[in-house]
Chains A and B, each alone.
Chain A
Amino acid sequence: MMLEPSNDHERMLQGLSALSDGEADGRELRLSVDAWRQDPELRASWHCYALIGDVLRSDDLASAPKQDASFLTALRSKLAQEPVVLAPAALVVQPAKPAVVAAAGGSGRVAAIGRARRGWTTTAAVAASFMVVAGVSLVWRAGPSSEAPVAAELAQADESASTPASLTESGNAMERSQDLDRYLAAHRQFAQGPSLAAPGGVRQVALTPEGR
């Protein structure tokens, strides 16, 4: 009885088999998904394993593979037009693309640029949080350990700017994130400049806060 895969291809197949059952460890998951992306034979095997499971549970799920493949081809072209979903449990930042959500109306222009919060589940959405008040920026910086975020710099506060909900996130203390610290440091320049709501420099990305 062969217990060890004899080559990389078989190792990847084993990984895909385990992955389809939710039993692949982190490393195996990464390797298997990367391999799936590269190798059409692995993609065919993944489809085959899924088909086998479906047919075992019900004969009427035994669809012809051409239908299945054309479904994926059609979906791929639609997916290519979608902004890439980015909502990891741990914040992974790309300084070139900050998240911007411009708040509507009100005196004292408040533009909440995303929101940073560490949820309690691995599937929680996280985004970076800044506050721009009346042309002056207020930069969040994560406090030490599990303290709530501390407002770092504030100049020329606008009286009419009330504390937005993002500043008083009850319950979810923000844990210190080195990624977030780097991101904030990279954007310290915005602390002096005018608001980030100026067009051209920023872009809305598909990040949403937890909750409806």
Chain B
Amino acid sequence: MSSLQPDVDAALVERVKQGDVKAFEMLVVKYQRRIERLIGRMVRDSDLVFDIAQETFIRAYRALPQFRGESAFYTWLYRIAVNTAKKALVDLKRDPVITEAAMATGDDDDETSRPQMEQIDMATPEALLASKEIASTVNAAIEALSEDLRQAITLREIEGLSYEEIADVMNCPIGTVRSRIFRAREAIALRLKPLLDTQNGERW
């Protein structure tokens, strides 16, 4: 995503700053998986990953008044996660070899996964299987979309283009871009929700 683009989360962050805790929860739901994956590259124990991720979001919430939007919210959150994980590792006096290995290759800007650190403890084979099923369902749903919908959501989610940029690329109005992305999401969600065991979303 271009660093010149405004932060997609700026409006939600401002809402949090106006006292809306639920807006912060929306950000948590949005980034929890990525943050856990990041921490999971530094720490192998899944319980510890959970705890560090929880602490990351609490620290972010407390520090939000000092967040001035000089970087994107997620970039700022990412740094908090890395610092929180490092601190936890130091506190717990974890295996220095693993710690050093994590830190030596711990390029803060590098989000690509490294196979040797990918041993995230998913706790149960069932959870791992459910994750694989979710991934294959999403991919199949994407393939089943019409060309327009697939292109729109791909440009947004994978290429990180703004609606305006996508409108340029696809030579259509911004309203159409917005509609296509929405309908792509809904089409995928239709296939995905049966797997998510949400029971009418009560869990949320």
Contacts and interface: CB of A to CB of B under 8 A. Distances in A.
Interface of A: 1, 3, 13-14, 17-24, 26, 29-30, 33, 36-37, 39-69, 71-72, 74-76, 78-79, 82, 84-89, 92, 119, 121-125, 206-208, 210, 212
B94 interface: no
Given A56-B157, A61-B37, A71-B53, A49 B185 contact: yes
Nearest to A206: B65
A208 B19 CA distance: 14
Interface of B: 6-26, 28-34, 36-37, 50, 53-54, 57-58, 61-62, 64-69, 113, 118, 120, 127, 130-132, 134-135, 138-139, 142, 153-154, 156-158, 162-163, 175-176, 178-179, 181-182, 185-186, 188-189, 192-193, 196-198, 200-204
B16 A57 contact: no
Contact of B25 (A18, A65, A72, A119): A72
A56 B61 contact: no
A48 B196 contact: yes
A72 B26 CA distance: 10
Contacts, number: 232
Contact of B200 (A40, A72, A86): A40
Contact of A125 (B26, B65, B158): B65
B29 A47 contact: yes
Contacts of A29: 11-12, 15
Nearest to A125: B65
B8 A22 contact: yes
Contacts of B118: 60
A46 B25 CA distance: 11
Nearest to B130: A64
A75 B33 contact: no
Given A56-B158, A72-B28, A75-B28, A82 B34 contact: no
Given A22-B11, A56-B142, A85-B17, A210 B68 contact: yes
Contacts of B200: 40-41, 44
Nearest to B177: A23
B163 A21 contact: yes
B29 A72 contact: yes
B18 A88 contact: yes
